[in-house]
Amino acid sequence: MPHADSSYFMPGASKAEVYEQVLMQAEGLLSGQRNWVSNLSNVSSLLWHAYSALPSPSSAVNWAGFYIRDDKFPTLASPISSPPLPSADGVSGVTISTTYASPENQLLLLGPFHGKPACQQIRFGKGVCGTAAASQKTVVVPDVLEFPGHIACDADSRSEIVVPILVRGETVAIIDIDCALPSGFDDEDKKHLEQLAELLADSCDW
């Protein structure tokens, strides 16, 4: 089946049926590919089209994607300087630095997503995403305006669900879904997104 066809969801399907299709299609898209950049890119698209196929409030989802722990990005062993350009006498190279996660000071960096431009980094323990990452538990927020320390990347967002992706007892990434309506997520979303998180944990090289 062409990859694009996996984003088609039958009109009138229930939320449970759509999520079952998301999980089935995700498993197919992940088959034979363990690079998390490629896999999360396809899954974010899959989620975006799934929510748009559902009635309100799911159809009001305005952001669907991932944040990844900073040390999971391609990194350098230590900061290095690039060699000078040819014929650039007296011009030194450019120093390239990288960030590294530590137990006390871990960061989530923006990963593949669908929606408006978003915050590029979130510290563990901060906002809804950071809280889920640090606690290693799903966080469902019916009204983000009432969540202490909420990080407002998009003023249109009113509710949010964040699901950690856990590998060997550590949060390596999170699934983040925002909705433009209050109370956009329920136990059905939580159940199936946690199943998706387990699939991604097992199907990617972290």
Name the one residue in this structure whose structure tokens are 């967002």: 157
Q: Are 157 and 178 in contact (CB under 8 A)?
A: yes
Contacts of 179 (CB under 8 A, 6+ apart): 57, 58, 60, 61, 62, 157, 158, 159, 160, 185
What angle separates helix 36-52 from helix 15-30, to the nearest 10 degrees? Answer: 160
Omega cis (within 30) before 142 = no
pLDDT digits (tens, 9 = 90+) for 141-197: 999 999 998 888 888 999 999 999 999 999 999 999 999 999 999 999 999 999 999
Candidate ranges 87-101, 104-118, 150-164, 165-179; pick with highest mean pLDDT: 165-179
Q: Average the pLDDT over each of 15-29, 42-56, 127-141, 144-158 and give the range with the smallest value.
A: 144-158
Q: Are 20 and 189 in contact (CB under 8 A)?
A: no
Residue 23 carries which side chain, given as an amino acid letter? L
Q: Is domain 3-74+94-203 classified as CATH 3.20.20.70? A: no
**CA–CA separation, 49 vs 7, rounded Å?**
6
pTM of the model: 0.85
Quote the tokens at residue 90: 């007296």
Terminal alpha carbon distance of the chain: 28
What angle separates helix 15-30 from helix 187-203, to the nearest 10 degrees? Answer: 10
pLDDT digits (tens, 9 = 90+) for 9-18: 888 999 999 9
Contacts of 59 (CB under 8 A, 6+ apart): 51, 52, 53
